[in-house]
Amino acid sequence: MIYNIDDIIKLINENDKVKELKLIYKDNDLTKCCVDLIDAGYIPNIKFEGCRITYILCNFNGINVQIETQHLSKSDLNGIFSVNDEIIYKKMNDSMNNFYKSIFVKNHKSHYSNIDIEILNEYRTIANNGLLVENKNNNKLIEVDIKSLHIFIFRN
């Protein structure tokens, strides 16, 4: 777990024979980390999810450094948390992985025979798209805001 870009340099100097490092950023603010990297002269590759940076990839003298947030669900905007210890983060991450594995079990998949697949493909239902009957009075149609309509009804 790193606290700033100085920690990255320390880890690179300690592990000079490693080709790749995967690091977790302590404060979950990868925007600050990205700005610090740019100020230091590095050009990071970033990934966005949910209007925020969730992943940074940067190359330091041939060593690829991956920096991620502590979020277990990267696209979730709620439930931001931060832990101070790598061991606690590892336990949380392992628990989350075990949870996903218990929900999405391969034995629960539906297995169809070849005849079933042919029938499903042949008689597949397709959602209607377009107008069933052309309406010549389009200019008489108006859009009604249902929330405003309910408020109007309850007030009267």
pLDDT along the chain (156 residues), means of 10: 84 83 82 88 85 85 85 63 78 83 74 80 66 67 62 61
Closest CA to 64 of 55, 72, 77: 55
Burial class (CB in 10 A: 0-12, 13-18, 19+), 46: middle
Whether residue 50 is contained in a domain is answered as yes
So what's the pLDDT on residue 8? 85
So what's the pLDDT on residue 143? 64
- The residue segments making up the domain with residue 37 are 5-106
- Tell me the β-bridge partners of 65: 21, 58
The total of other beta-carbon atoms located within 10 Å of residue 70's CB is 18
Number of domains in the chain: 1
Specify the DSSP class assigned to residue 105. Answer: -
Whether residue 123 is contained in a domain is answered as no
So what's the pLDDT on residue 3? 83
Whether residue 128 is contained in a domain is answered as no
- Tell me the β-bridge partners of 63: 60
Whether residue 117 is contained in a domain is answered as no
So what's the pLDDT on residue 30? 84
Whether residue 69 is contained in a domain is answered as yes
Whether residue 130 is contained in a domain is answered as no
Whether residue 48 is contained in a domain is answered as yes
